[in-house]
Structure 1
Amino acid sequence: MRLGSTIKLTLGLLIAATMAVVAYAANLPAAPSSARYLGSYVWDMNDSWFGGFSALSLGRDGRSMTVLSDRATLATARIRRQGGQISSIEVKTTRPLQSSSGKILKGRIVDSEGLAIARDGTIYISFEGISRVVKHRKASSRAQVLPRPSEFRSLPINKALEALAIDSRGRLYTLPERALNDDGQIPVWRWNGRTWSTPFTLPPLGNFLPVSADFGPDGRLYLLERDFGLFGFRSRLRRWDITAEGPANEKILLKTTFGTHDNLEGLSVWRDDSGTLRATMISDDNFYSIQRTELVEYALPR
């Protein structure tokens, strides 16, 4: 989510006012979780493009990485690891995304949030400001805007298509941050290459809002959610089996307390050399110096 100026000011004041108590919150008892914390890495660069990361995608080896900022910059990087932990990150390429007319994105159309990369390297990105999903044959190519159903056009600004994921059959799934349907459920739209449909919904739970989604190598759908309060941010990770009848076997894998991590917004699920499922998440610092870009990793149960 790219925050509006008023919201950003409020957020900045809240964060500044609570920095002294974040340490206290971090020392509160951990929330129940079946995920196992592996480690965190604070990533910092001086370049003007750096920050505001809303999505990431890791390669199968957990070392190649593509990250997306909410100012429509796409970057690739190489992760170095020691003992399985992130030790350094080397940026390889950075590129501002183009519109369908070939111009660099600016203004209301910039707010890029979700990222999914197909097996053939095609890049898909979802947006909030003007709700849409676009396709890039490669990072340097102009966007091709997928058809926009009427449901997309009525989504609230800044609460729209926050999450984007692609399954093993190459079908895209997107869902909004805060726009429940008439039954009070989170709508999930699927693109099959020709049309959009709504194959299923997901149940909201508490005050958490969806911010990212991914299909893991196990074929299951993972949903990263976020909440914000006086003591900072907290995160939750849920998982479902996607069956012909819809989502099943919901499980809460992770629920942190306020202040445990920064503003986690991006999610990538992969399997390491030992066969362990890992969730790698990245935080959106909102381009505030008092926040941080943090990569956080958890081992997930089978």
Structure 2
Amino acid sequence: MIFSAARLRRFACAATAAFALSAMLSASSRAEQPAIERMEISARPISQFQIGLDQKMFGPLEFVGGLELTSSSRNFGALSAFRFLEPGSDFVGVADTGFWFFGRIARDPALRPTGVENFRMVQMVDASGIAFEKKWLADAEGLAVKDGIATVGFERMHRVAQYQIDPDNMKPPLCELDFLVPRNELRQNRGFETVAYSAGKGGLVVVSEKSLDVAGNIFAAIIEGPQKGVFTVKRDGEFDITDGAFLPDGDLLLLERSFSMASGVKMRLRRIASDSIARGKVADGPVLLEANMGYQIDNMEGLDVWQRSDGALMVSLISDDNHSILQRNLYLEFILHDD
């Protein structure tokens, strides 16, 4: 009997899930399910993207608005990646401290973001259903969502794992996926920060932050479907890749970041041509936006692309404050114009 790759992956997930359930039951006497922490989030509106200027257009991107987010909870922050479950509204995300987070973006009548509602966080658990004790075991950095399944990319202990999404009862991973890139090529803290679904490529695509091949390009892979295989993304300047999402036309929008003591933090959005994303190729594309400390940015780590109710193609970004008093948790929103 011949099985498709998708069916084999489902079998592998089912076997892993059965093992996880057995391990969780055996560990039930040792640990309780981590408690969900509900948090009040304060949101200060950001009306200018470039500080001191009312300019709205930045190349093909139109700034809609943003929020600076704070909370009294010591667990709030370190937000690494997020995806909307409902366009522009309910979302799920991962923090690199080993937490899931959930919430909803509130909006005014003009559809600008005004706050975050119903926000909660809960610790990730291992195959035994026990919360990770060490951060390096749960350094969640990338996230994709499809059909109720969250696919998470982890650094340090490199892996790509899948979970059933249930905000009230997040369980152990269903399975881990083969990410194709040789493990020895992945740098310890430069793993898969981009995990994204591509209908055109037949499934999941992963891109590392800064794991470089001998030519200095960034390792990536299509890990599902008939086109699966390893490719690289051309590294341009001092920027590393922190997230990405596919656009409706099949291009990949990448969020990039750089930092130096001399110039501080920078962010960039780059559009990678769909036809350059293929096994053995070096993917590349133009820069759409670059911003420095003269703009309302921070350590920008998360990105999602979605369609607003009026048809506008939206790009949303979040930052990771690393639980530092010198950094901020930001939410920024743009319209991407194609004309």
- Between Structure 1 and Structure 2, whose CA radius of gyration is higher? 2
Where does residue 236 of structure 2 map in the other structure? 205
Where does residue 154 of structure 2 map in the other structure? 127
Structure 1, unaligned runs of 5 or more: 1-24
- In structure 2, relative to structure 1, the CA distance for the partners of 1:244 and 1:36 (3 Å cut) is closer
Contact 2:154–2:192 (Cα < 8 Å) also in 1: yes
Q: What RMSD over aligned residues (CA atoms) do the two structures have, in Å?
A: 2.7
- Equivalent residue for 1:273, pick from 287, 292, 309: 309
Where does residue 188 of structure 1 map in the other structure? 220
- Equivalent residue for 1:258, pick from 275, 278, 293: 293
Contact 1:217–1:269 (Cα < 8 Å) also in 2: no
Matches of 1:64 and 1:296, distance apart in 2:
16
| Range moving further from structure 2, 241-250 or 185-194 | 241-250
Higher RCO (Cα < 8 Å, 6 or more apart): 1
Q: Are 1:71 and 2:106 counterparts?
A: no
Tell me how far 1:295 sits from its aligned partner: 0.2
Tell me how far 1:239 sits from its aligned partner: 1.1
Q: TM-score, normalised by structure 2?
A: 0.74
Matches of 2:287 and 2:86, distance apart in 1:
24
Contact 1:232–1:259 (Cα < 8 Å) also in 2: no
Q: TM-score, normalised by structure 1?
A: 0.82
Query: One-letter code of the match for 1:227?
Result: S
The secondary structure found in structure 2 opposite 1:179 is strand
- In structure 2, relative to structure 1, the CA distance for the partners of 1:148 and 1:268 (3 Å cut) is closer
Aligned ranges 1:211-290 → 2 under 5 Å: 211-229=242-260, 230-243=262-275, 246=278, 250-260=285-295, 261-290=297-326
The secondary structure found in structure 1 opposite 2:285 is strand
Aligned ranges 1:1-302 → 2 under 5 Å: 26=51, 33-82=59-108, 83-107=110-134, 108-118=136-146, 120-139=147-166, 140-143=170-173, 144-147=175-178, 149=180, 151-168=182-199, 171-192=203-224, 197-198=229-230, 200-229=231-260, 230-243=262-275, 246=278, 250-260=285-295, 261-302=297-338
Contact 1:60–1:271 (Cα < 8 Å) also in 2: no
Matches of 1:54 and 1:231, distance apart in 2:
23
Structure 2, unaligned runs of 5 or more: 1-49
Where does residue 27 of structure 2 map in the other structure? none
- In structure 2, relative to structure 1, the CA distance for the partners of 1:289 and 1:214 (3 Å cut) is same
Contact 1:33–1:252 (Cα < 8 Å) also in 2: no
State the aligned residue count. Answer: 275
Over the matched positions of the two proteins, sequence identity in percent amounts to 28
- In structure 2, relative to structure 1, the CA distance for the partners of 1:244 and 1:279 (3 Å cut) is closer
Tell me how far 1:59 sits from its aligned partner: 3.5
The secondary structure found in structure 2 opposite 1:243 is helix
Tell me how far 1:153 sits from its aligned partner: 4.0
The secondary structure found in structure 1 opposite 2:183 is helix
Where does residue 8 of structure 1 map in the other structure? none
The secondary structure found in structure 1 opposite 2:80 is strand
Contact 2:181–2:221 (Cα < 8 Å) also in 1: no
